Each structure stands twice: as C-alpha cells, then as structure tokens.
Structure 1
Amino acid sequence: MSTTLPATHRGSLPAMVRIEAIRFLRHPLLLIGVLAAYGVEAWLILADSPTATDGEQYAVDLLSQPIIPAFFIGLTSLVVAARLTRSTEVAVEAMATAPGTEARRTLAVAGACVVPLVAGLGWLAEVLVLITVHPPHPHELWFGTVNDVYVWSILLALGPVACLGGALLGILVGRWLSFPGAPAVAVVLLVLLTMVGQLPYAYSEQGNLRVWVPWAMFHTGTMSDGKAWEGIPGYAQALVPGNPAAYLGYALALCALAVVGAVWHDRSARTVRLRLLAWGLVALAVALYLLAAFTGFEQMLVSEPLPLAA
C-alpha cells in the first residue's frame, strides 16, 4: 500500500501568491539589492550632483539612472525568483504533496514578482522626491525638453519593469535549468547579451535596431569632460533613436512571455489556449519591436550643453 499523500489539485491562488510574496520580501539578497539601489541613487543626487556656472547644483543624467534599479534589484530578483521556484519543487518532492499543479505554483511565484516591481516603483518615487533638492538643469533631457510620454516610458521600462522582468526571467530559469549555479550563469549571460546586443552599434545609423535587447539604453549620459563624442558636443547629452513608448510595451510583452515559458514546463498545462497565447505574445512582441525600432526618435535628440563648472 502506498503511503504517498494525494496532491491537492485545487488551491487558492491568491493565498499562494501571498505566501510566495512574503518569502520574496524576506529574502536577504533582495533586501540588499533594494537598499543598494536606494542608497546609490540618494548619493548620486544628494552628494554627487555637479555644480553649474551659476553656483547651483543640478541633478544630471536622470534618464540614464534606471540602470541602478535594473542592476541592483532586477538582477538580484532573478536569482531570488529562481531559488524560490526551485525550493518550492524541492519541498513538493520531499513531502510528496503539492498545493495545486506545477503551473499554479509557477503562477503563484509570478504573482509574487509584484514585490520587485513595487521596489522599482519605490526607486522612481525616490528620484522624484530627491530632485526637489537638486532639480535638473533646464537643458537636461527630462520633462519639458522631451515628450512626457517618452520620459515616463524610459523611466518605467528601464526601471520598475526591468525589476519585474528580472524576477520573471528567474522563474523561467528556475523551471528549466536545474544545474548548480544556473541563476548566476543566467545573470552573466543576460548582462553580456544586453551589452553585446547594443553597444557596438548603438550610435551608428543602425542604432535603432538595438531595441531587441531586454534592457535597451536610450540616454547617453553627459559629455562631462567637455569633449565632443559621436556627434554629441561637450557638456551635452543625447537620446539615441527609437520609440521608448513602444519599447515599454515590448518589455512588458517579454515579461508575459517569460511567464508563459515557465508555465509551459508543466506538461499538463500545454493546452491549445496556452499555445495560442504564446504565439499571440510572440507576434505582439515582434510588432512592438518594429514600432520601437522604426518610430519615435529617427535621429539622436541632442540637448543644449549644460553649463557645468570646470
């Protein structure tokens, strides 16, 4: 006679999400990443804002700073989500019982990824508060000099959505890769893909094609050494070609595809509906990529030089 307990095929998904969200929120690696992101941002604006010729300090390169939460929160969330996904399955194997199907457990961890998303939104709120202390210079590529929709799209796509995407990619890794160190390998490959996939040609005539990568930069940073570079005058900054609003949609489509890919690991979930959803998301991602690449900024949008003190 078997002593194995039957698996519970129906469970409260919201309850499962709450449990996984608490586990996510309490993970030390995520807490370290969030504190690092918030701390670095505070230091950049409060202690490292340059002084202009009028004697005032101004926050600069604000549209390049979403790399901070993407790095500290997004990448750590990838590792945390992968570990949570694997640990859930290890517990299931050890207890010979399961709170719902594998697909439902995957969706529960995916729902818990609201934690890094909220952490990313917290970073954005921090920026908006800190610039009341050191506001951006009128020449800064920011609200007032760039279309507001594009500014919000860059901030959201490369900040909070990148935090969400990193976590969802972690679930995908946790489902499909079980060898030791898989999350760390995924982090390294993701960083390399992001750099190699855009930096060699970002400032060329084909720079608009770079937006296929999961984290595509738009802001060049200020030429703070006073020297011109790639057609950008000294002390100026630029936005490279592309449509940030369409890219935001593309990034969200990639997030959805990561969830579908993780759910697909459960053979019992491979229904016609899931297949149609997957192909629909692929088509949507391709369409949004084309919009991001071939609409929006057709050429670099270059600012007026910022009057920074030498």
Structure 2
Amino acid sequence: MTFTIVAPTRRHVASVLAIGEARRLLLHPAMLVGWALLAVVIFIGLISGNPVTTFGTITTGAVANPGVFCILAAHMLVTRDARAGTSDMTDVAPATRRQRGLALLIAAWAPALVALAINLAAHTMFLLTDSYVQAPGPAHIVQAPVAVLGGTLLGIMLGVWAPARVTPIVAMTALISFCLVLDGGSGGRALFSPAQSWADWGPGNGEQWYALIPGHPGAHVAYLLGLCAMAAAATWFRLSARHRAVSVALGTVAIAIAAVGGWAQLP
C-alpha cells in the first residue's frame, strides 16, 4: 500500500494562516479596547431614549470603536516580526511573503463580520424597545462594518508601506481630523466621511428626531467599499511583484467604484 502526500495549495496555506491572523486581530489589545467602547456606545444608545443617538449608534458606533483602533491593531500585526527582530526567520518559513499578505487581507474581514453581528444584535434590541422613530435600512446597518473593514485594510496597507511605529498614530489622528472637517462642511461634503450618521440634528440640536440627511446610503456603502478595495490593491501591489499589473487593474477599478459611489451618494 502506498500513500501519496499532497502538498497544500497556495490558497489553502493562505486560508489556514488567515484563521490565526483573524484570531490575533480580534483579540489584539487595541481591538479589545474598541469592542469595549462599542459596548458602552450601544448601552448609551439603549438607555438614552434619544432616537437621534440611537440611529447614530447603528450608523457610526463601530466606525470609531473599533474602526479607528483597527488601524493600530492591523499595523502592529503586520509589523510584529520586524519589531520582534524575527524577520529573517519568517523569510525562510514555508509560507511566502505573498501568502502571508493574502492571509492578512482575508483576516481583515473578521472584525467587519463581528461588527456586523453586533450591529444586527443592537438593531434588534432597538426595535424591541421601540427606540426608533425611523428605523435604519440595510445600507445604514452595514455602513459601519464596512468602515471597520476599511480601517483594518488601511492598517495592513500602512504596515507594508510604512512600518514605522508612529505611522498608525499619525494615520488615526489624520483620519479623525479628516472626519471632523468633513462633518462641519456643507453642500454634501460630509457624505464623504466614513462616519456619517445620516440623522439630521435639526433645529432642536439633536434633542428630538428631525429627519434624515439627503443622500443615498447604498451609494455611500459602495463608496466605502471602493476605498477598501483601493487599500487592498495597494497592499497587494507591494507584496506581489509578479502580479503588479493585476494590482494596478484592481486599483483602477476600485478608484472607479469609489468615484461613482461618491458621486451617486450626493442628493
């Protein structure tokens, strides 16, 4: 009797590695802080009795927590070998640099899926407690988890292009500042912010439900997905020299999706 040993395919290696990377992402200390803060935000939305706050909890709660923290967690995950001084060991490991990079890109979906599950659970609680004046639609619910995916992919991209320890702090500060500037803008400019509540505070300064901000939430999600794809393409361009033409093509498509979605979301 003879036995045939089948070597794992490249995709299989990447998928196996992705499971471990996803676990590290979800349990990273920065991520745990983000999950804890998200629980606080949901609790406040539940007890506030303010439908504006409740609506914003679903649309933007996970954007900052853990979305912004995903940048730090993902960057530290990408650069952990360099910081530990074990890069030489990983260079001779059975998995190639490209396979490890693909595993990270796959693992980036884990925080987004967890954020989606939490958002759905919070949405159900708000429905059962009659906390809405106007319930959010599907695009409103998936918006924040997509932003979490974007934060993770941004952290991975920065990890492969700019591994300096200060990079994620600068990126987090710049992203928060960018959102604040856009939030104070007019003429639809605020819609280009990942942290878009969609609830108009109105003349009552958010003390009671007024209306939804004009615009198209589904197109906004497409805009965010385009940004996510741009970060993934930039990462793959850096990691895979043999497939840079593919990376450029994917990046071009991603830019087109972000541009079309950004334009279509405007009222």
Question: Counterpart in 1 of 2:216?
Answer: 243
Question: Counterpart in 2 of 1:152?
Answer: 138
Greater fraction helix: 2
| Secondary structure, aligned partner of 1:178 | coil
Distance 2:41 2:172 in 1: 21
Distance 1:95 1:276 in 2: 29
- Shift of residue 127, structure 1, vs aligned partner: 1.4
Distance 1:290 1:128 in 2: 28
Question: Counterpart in 2 of 1:48?
Answer: 48
Contact 1:49 1:134 in 2 (8 A): no
Distance 2:252 2:19 in 1: 30
Gapped regions of structure 2 (runs ≥ 5): 1-8
Question: Counterpart in 1 of 2:168?
Answer: 183
**How high is the sequence identity, in percent, across the aligned residues?**
22
RMSD (Å) for aligned C-alpha atoms? 2.6
| Secondary structure, aligned partner of 1:216 | coil
Aligned residues: 256
Q: Residue type matched to 1:29 in 2?
A: A
Question: Counterpart in 2 of 1:64?
Answer: 56
- What whole-Å deviation, never above 9, does each CA across 1:108-139 have from its counterpart, x for those lacking one? 111111221122112212212322552135xx
After TM superposition, list the pairs within 5 Å mapping 1:207-286 onto structure 2.
Answer: 207=188, 209-221=189-201, 227-228=203-204, 235-266=208-239, 268-286=241-259
Distance 2:191 2:178 in 1: 12
Contact 1:102 1:266 in 2 (8 A): yes
Question: Counterpart in 2 of 1:147?
Answer: none
- Shift of residue 217, structure 1, vs aligned partner: 3.7
Distance 1:99 1:214 in 2: 38
Contact 2:198 2:212 in 1 (8 A): yes
- Shift of residue 270, structure 1, vs aligned partner: 4.4
Distance 1:175 1:63 in 2: 36
After TM superposition, list the pairs within 5 Å mapping 1:1-310 onto structure 2.
Answer: 10=10, 12-45=13-46, 47-49=47-49, 59-65=51-57, 66-88=59-81, 91-137=86-132, 140-142=133-135, 151-157=137-143, 159-201=144-186, 206-207=187-188, 209-221=189-201, 227-228=203-204, 235-266=208-239, 268-293=241-266, 298=267
| Secondary structure, aligned partner of 1:200 | coil
Q: 1:269 to 1:81 in 2, by over 3 A?
A: farther
- Shift of residue 265, structure 1, vs aligned partner: 1.4
- Shift of residue 43, structure 1, vs aligned partner: 3.3
Which moves more between the two structures, 237-246 or 127-136?
127-136
Question: Counterpart in 1 of 2:4?
Answer: none
Q: Residue type matched to 1:38 in 2?
A: A
| Secondary structure, aligned partner of 2:66 | helix
Distance 1:267 1:21 in 2: 21
Structure 1 runs, 4 residues or longer, greater than 4 Å off: none
Q: Which structure's CA Rg is the greater one? A: 1
